[in-house]
Amino acid sequence: MAAPLRIQSDWAQALRKDEGEAWLSCHPPGKPTLYGNLTCQGIGPDGIPEITASEGFIVNEISKKSIHISCPKENASSKFLTPYTTFSRIHAKSITCLDISSGGGLGVSSSADGSMKIWQASNGELRRVLEGHVFDVNCCRFFPSGLVVLSGGMDAQLKIWSAEDASCVATFKGHKGGILDTAIVDRGRNVLSGSRDGTARLWDCGRSACLGVIADCGSSINGVAVGAADNSINLGCPDQVPSIPLYWLRCLQLLYFSLWLLALSWDTGWKHLSAGCEESKGSSTSHPQIRSTSSIPAEIQRRIHC
């Protein structure tokens, strides 16, 4: 696993002035974190800052819109991009989740300030405020239509919302702990949820009913993703492909991490990436938990709508 590099969130602004500084770090798995800084030595005639890195780091390339940093000791490198626009008035605190509609016109985001909002992706204009969860909203995403939003919160509830009038059209109950992530199966007749209670559940949206527990992992499930892959089902990222074929309809991947993930979303053209950021930094030396399952309950197989 490559060692991730991190950089001060406002590095582009900090390094635009003489002697401006920005911190950076390298996080090799199972090893102490390496810390360093970048310093601006001046602005060139082309408007590009001249940047030097502290010991252990190298500035490979810099432009007005990006900087490429490497850490030779850990054979790690990353290219960091500056945003082409920033919306700073949507939320008052850190972004916990973010998604962009299939057409690219709308964004939805949740925040540590307890709010969940729909906004215009082009200019950040607020369109709707989605209210109904008790406590924090951990995850939110658009259905493929771009007109409906799925959310999960610390109140152990899943909710479906209309992006047109902000009404809550359905609420799913069954988890015994906060919901940390969701996934939408195909066009959205079914959805999946991962929870702090250690279970992943499959839901029927039309009936607002839980079809069953897909997996009971015994610890928090922080990430859920769905995709067609060889008619198999896997949890985590196995070191080896399971030797016994698994003949099911879909591949479900559940990723367990002991650290918070940033909120990221691409538009449908894969040309623009939106990111929701946390103000404070954190680190963790824990590794992903890897597990696999060899079966799905038969009654759930019969009910899956793909």
CATH number at residue 163: 2.130.10.10
Confidence of residue 230 (pLDDT cuts 50, 70, 90): low
**Res 9: pLDDT:** 86
pTM: 0.67
Of 37, 53, 81, the residue at which a domain comes to its end is 81
Residue 33 has pLDDT above 60, yes or no: yes
Of 81, 109, 128, the residue at which a domain comes to its end is 81
Q: Which position has the higher pLDDT, 52 or 83?
A: 52
Q: Is 254 part of any domain?
A: no
Q: What is the percent of the chain where pLDDT is above 90?
A: 56
Could you list the residue range(s) of the whole structural domain that residue 169 is in? 95-231+271-277
**Res 260: pLDDT:** 37
Same-domain check for residues 52 and 169:
no
Same-domain check for residues 222 and 149:
yes
Q: Is 255 part of any domain?
A: no
Same-domain check for residues 143 and 77:
no
Contact 52, 67 (CB under 8 A): no
Number of domains observed in the structure of the chain = 2
Q: Is 258 part of any domain?
A: no
Residue 119 has pLDDT above 60, yes or no: yes
Same-domain check for residues 47 and 141:
no
Same-domain check for residues 52 and 116:
no
Same-domain check for residues 204 and 150:
yes
Same-domain check for residues 219 and 108:
yes
Contact 151, 110 (CB under 8 A): yes
Task: Please give the full DSSP string across 33-48, using - where no structure is assigned.
Answer: PEEEEEEEEEE-TTS-
Residue of 192, 266, 275 lying closest to 227 (CA atoms)? 192
Q: Per-residue pLDDT averaged across 125-148, rounded?
A: 94
- Cα separation, 144 vs 147, in Å, equals 8
Same-domain check for residues 133 and 195:
yes
Residue 261 has pLDDT above 90, yes or no: no
**Among 30-34, 250-254, 300-304, where is mean pLDDT lowest?**
250-254
Q: Is 288 part of any domain?
A: no
Q: Is 266 part of any domain?
A: no
Same-domain check for residues 124 and 159:
yes
Residue 244 has pLDDT above 50, yes or no: no
Q: Is 188 part of any domain?
A: yes
Q: What is the percent of the chain where pLDDT is above 70?
A: 74
Six-digit token pair at 102? 């299939």
Same-domain check for residues 73 and 144:
no
Same-domain check for residues 18 and 135:
no
**Res 214: pLDDT:** 86
Q: Is 117 part of any domain?
A: yes
